[in-house]
Amino acid sequence: MRIATWNVNSITSRLPRLLAWLESSGTDVLCVQELKCGDDAFPTGPLRDLGYEAASHGTGRWNGVAVISRVGLTEVRTGLPDGPAYDGAVEPRAVSAVCGGVRVWSVYVPNGREVDHPHYTYKLEWLAALRTAVAADAAAERPFAVLGDFNIAPADEDVWDITQFTDATHVTGPERAALAALRETGLRDVVPRPLKYDHPFTYWDYRALGFPKNKGMRIDLVYGNAPFATAVSDAYVDREERKGKGASDHAPVVVDLDLGGPTDG
């Protein structure tokens, strides 16, 4: 089974690339973030024409997540139980489903903005709620993974130059501690293998030639429980999808699983 995660930075803007990539990559399950569209505008029809069904959770603003699958889609859950609100609204940042016998969560962790900003506190609260929400799935015998844009680089080597991130979000101790607490539920970091460069970055800013200069970050993560992690046969970042006109500022992270035979969704 091939499972991937991709922050598309607007599914409407990226739809032709998304459909072409699904068709060419052989992906069975795709977790998508930053839809920037409401559920009523989600491209269910074009995806169905390719043989995929989807569970989306979006309101049409700056967030939104989805799970897209051609191997079954059951037990759909939207949002985090007791998840925090920001500025009076509970944002659409998490959706989960069982696809081909694997439960996946597609998550879009709040950015945090600045360390002294209320959004940073919200980010830490949201991560704590995520930990609580996934604990039972993480401990289960069924393969399970949380995939998405975490807006956190787990280690210094996961950014192009740590000296450029002094007093910045995405690399702070509390954020990384929240990731560590998430892993303590029984999850492992599935790190993609290096391809063109020594380190598998997943995001490059549009500005200042970030991608050509490889000034990137590894913030799109796959955290799987033991049954998931031990089934991984390959993991890589599809950097080709960050190239060219109309690309997202993130690239897909692809994980291949050897589950030892057919499973039910």
Q: What is the pLDDT of residues 93-126, one digit of tens each?
A: 999 999 999 999 999 999 999 999 999 999 999 9
Task: Map residue 104 onto helix, strand or coil.
Answer: strand
pLDDT score of 197: 82
Pick from 20-24, 25-29, 57-61, 105-109: least confident: 57-61
pLDDT score of 75: 98
pLDDT bin (cut points 50, 70, 90) of residue 188 is: very high
Q: What fold characterizes domain 2-257?
A: Deoxyribonuclease I; Chain A (3.60.10)
Segments making up each domain of the chain, as ranges? 2-257
* Type of residue numbered 154: P
Which residues are the active-site residues?
Answer: 108, 149, 250
- Return d(Cα 71, Cα 52) in angstroms, integer: 8
Minimal CA–CA distance to 5: which of 222, 233, 152? 222
pLDDT tops 50 at residue 70: yes
Helices (H), the chain: 11-25, 44-49, 118-139, 173-183, 226-229
Strand ranges for 111-252 from DSSP E: 144-149, 188-189, 203-204, 216-217, 220-224, 232-237
Q: Is the C-alpha dihedral spanning 200, 205, 211, 216 positive or negative? A: negative
Inter-CA distances, 251 with 76, 81, 120, 201, Å: 25, 29, 25, 9
Average pLDDT, the chain: 96
Pick from 140-144, 195-199, 239-243: least confident: 195-199
Residues 6 or more apart whose CB falls under 8 angstroms from that of 180 comprise none
Minimal CA–CA distance to 133: which of 143, 141, 144? 144
pLDDT tops 60 at residue 265: no
pLDDT tops 50 at residue 264: no
CA angle 122, 127, 130 (to 5 degrees): 125
> In the numeric block, which tokens belong to residue 146?
């949380």
Q: How large is the angle between the packed helices 173-183 and 118-139, nearest 10 degrees?
A: 10
Residue ranges of the binding site? 7, 34, 149, 151, 249-250
